[in-house]
Amino acid sequence: MKKILLTIISLFLTISFVNAKIKDPRVWTNFYESCYEEYNSSSGLTKQEHAKYCSCSADGVIEKMEVKELLLLETNMLKEKTQENQTRVLLANNKLQNILVDCLSKIYQ
């Protein structure tokens, strides 16, 4: 996960930090791939449902978050040593939490 986060951070260094929605398709791709790598059959989702969830989440991040906001979130995650603490950092962000919950609710409807 740290490798993916570092890749995303390096991409952000090439993107302007103006308060605009994220337009760089590499951010979507990195978010999707990072999400998809986390697939676990014990999660209760099929691979197809998990792929839908990741796609929806990446779409939500691109549409609802700003580059600076996402970068700050990811740098805070990098400070954490365990996966559990990194997850806590992610879910502490209300905007991201709402994106993830919205996407899960679409799958279970």
Ramachandran angles phi, psi of 31, nearest 5°:
-65, -45
Domain count of the chain?
1
Q: Measure the CA angle with vertex 40, ends 35 and 45; round to 5°.
A: 85
Instruction: With a cut of 80, say whether residue 2 has pLDDT above it.
Output: no
Give pLDDT, residue 5.
Answer: 54
Query: What's residue 37's pLDDT?
Result: 94
**Tokens at 56, concatenated:** 């929806």
**Chain segment 91-100, per-residue pLDDT in tens:** 999 999 999 9
Express each pLDDT in 48-83 by its tens digit: 999 999 999 999 999 999 989 999 999 999 999 998
Q: Which of 105, 94, 76, 101 is nearest to 5 (CA)?
A: 76
Domain containing 25: what range?
A: 2-108
The residues near 24 (Cβ < 8 Å, ≥ 6 apart) are: 11, 15
In this predicted structure, what is the pLDDT of residue 85?
95
- The DSSP line for 37-76 is HT--GGGS--HHHHHHHHHHHHHHHHHH-BHHHHHHHHHH
